[in-house]
Structure 1
Amino acid sequence: METFPEKGRSWQHGASRAHRRPARPERGGAVAATIKDVAASAGVGIATVSRVFSGTGAVSAATRERVLAAARDLHYRPSAVGRSLKTRRTGGLGLAVPDATDPFCADLIGGVLDCARTLGQHVLLDATLGDPAREAEIADRFAEQRVDGVIAVPSGTGDPWEGFPRAGVPLVFAGRVPSCRTWTGRAPAVLADDAAGIRSAVEYLVGLGHRRVGFLGAPAPGTPPDVREDAFRAALTALGVPVEEDLVARARPTRDSAYAAAAGLLQRRSDLTAVLASGHLPGEAAVLVARELDLRVPADLSIAMVDDVAWAELCDPPLTAVSRPARDLGYRACELAARGGVRRGPSGPVLLPTELVVRGSCGPAPSRRARH
């Protein structure tokens, strides 16, 4: 079939000018297809193509499929830059966690990324490292980048994030809320049911005969009790077991602080028979200190903790743990942020169930005697 050159292109002789198919972009630097090329290939107007990719306006199913088929054939991708200039948004979600290497946070991040991928969103990730000043900088950066929504695992009061709802940007807290004594629910949250998890662990330990149960990793001195400490106290009280203040060990969320708190607790209370750690850092510290003090687990000391991280099952003996659904928390938080932070159903945080995973680190309480 004859071809005739026309301004650098070759066209099949006799092809309809209105429905001719632009050349497919080749790898190696050729000009990419434009929205005009897609419209010409699908035999529709540019406005129709725009409605298909923006998801706005009425387009029939047949027309939509024709446009998408043409876009696939031409390897067309909508311009994120153009879309952001028009909407004044980047089309992405901001995600702030305390530590991206932390096992719980890593699973939560995985859940956010899974959800974002299905929604066609990209995620801007940063770590606060538990530093309020750094958290404020990250919040400012997300605001400057005009993200479409924010998912935050707050480190403190949550003040750095308050401007987003006022600016009409969806904000969702995940895993925990800002200092629960001051948080007023101004932003939605997706949380694990920590209170139920702590209650199940306390009931299990008391059921094994333990009456001197330590709580390791309560919020540092000068900060209000959190949900886990409140639940620990309430569970013991409900079971008729006195709450001894000397058995509540406080620590900051660092390995050094957790270790110091565990060492102080186990050395000053030789009559302690069980420890419930509020997270995997104090749980790790309890295991290390017990080993250094030559305490047999569970013969001398039973240990349970919140967060069923991978190493818990590898301990000798494996650790009993409250499993929190980190990946599901991230996925649900991303869904909520992507639909504008509007929660369907009853108000209040979205609570996901926890599960007590019983392993070999807990046993019957030893006889009432001081350890040597």
Structure 2
Amino acid sequence: MVAVVSKGPRNLITDVAGLKVGNAQDDRLKSGSTVLTADKPFKASVHVMGGAPGTRETDLLAPDKTVTAIDALVLSGGSAFGLDACSGVMDGLRAQGRGYAVGAMRIPIVPGAILFDLINGGDKDWDENPYRALGRAALDAAAEDFALGSVGAGTGAMAAMQKGGLGSASMVLANGTTVGALVAVNSLGSVTTPGDRHFWAAAFEMDGEFGGLGPDPASGLVAPEPSRKEKAMMLHATAQANTTIAIVATDAPLSKTQCHRLAVTAHDGLARAIVPTHTPLDGDLVFGVSTGSGSSVDHHVFGEICAASAICLSRAVCRGIYEATHAEGDIIETYRATNQWA
């Protein structure tokens, strides 16, 4: 049971004190990058449950590895090309004097994860990888307030039945702890029930944040409809173009091991919001972050934080889909375009 007071004042992951998020995108490319950073280095870990992940420096985040804090996390489009967004973020952080000190050098620690958006109607015929510059621009844009939907890593994302996007949500627990989530939704599975009107995770919605239509009253929803995304992608001879990548965060003082467990538990939020999820053709991944000072929290408090992170992530997934906007050349429609009631 989660004792919730309310959404955070922004209903964004940046309601967690110290966090900032920046987006950068290229509308011609139909792709972009998103950066989460903080006022100072923060603890983080990660858990991967999809069968086709694309990552950079995530091994450092295992609980048994010696890195105790990082400087930023990157979510990016671009498949393997998008991993270079981390290099741009490293450039920017080094210019700020950030990073792990080794003699006279400072080495920013910037793990990242990518999604596949290379076949989404955008112009990908570049001569020079654009993602390093997108990563640097996203870092430069980092702030407490940021846009959702077709921005940053969510710019060219697609779910099974409609355009994907960047989503975020937050919760304040009764003890004052804040929990937040940030996600780029590019899933093989659907975020809406058959008929496209109701979100699978509608039961977790707070204050009409993704339309307020409530749960689907139908039952027996066990046979998914044919994927519009898959149909569109197969025109280009591929259906292996998925992945939902996310970050959950709290201002509670978690240990690195607890950050890992936070990420594990938050995957429940993906499973409640996307059907199916964690497939062999998704690279589903969640980072767990703590900005709090101190070593850890007790098991009871930690249990509430974990439960809240899963709920936040479910809501963030739905908000990413709900806030997506149409752009010229899209090969799949937005939720609002197909729903007059939205």
Mark yes or no: TM-score above 0.5.
no
Structure with greater proportional strand content: 2
Relative to the length of structure 2, the TM-score reads 0.23
Return the index of the structure with the highest Cα Rg.
1
Kindly indicate whether structure 1 or structure 2 has the higher relative contact order, using CA contacts under 8 Å at least 6 residues apart: 2
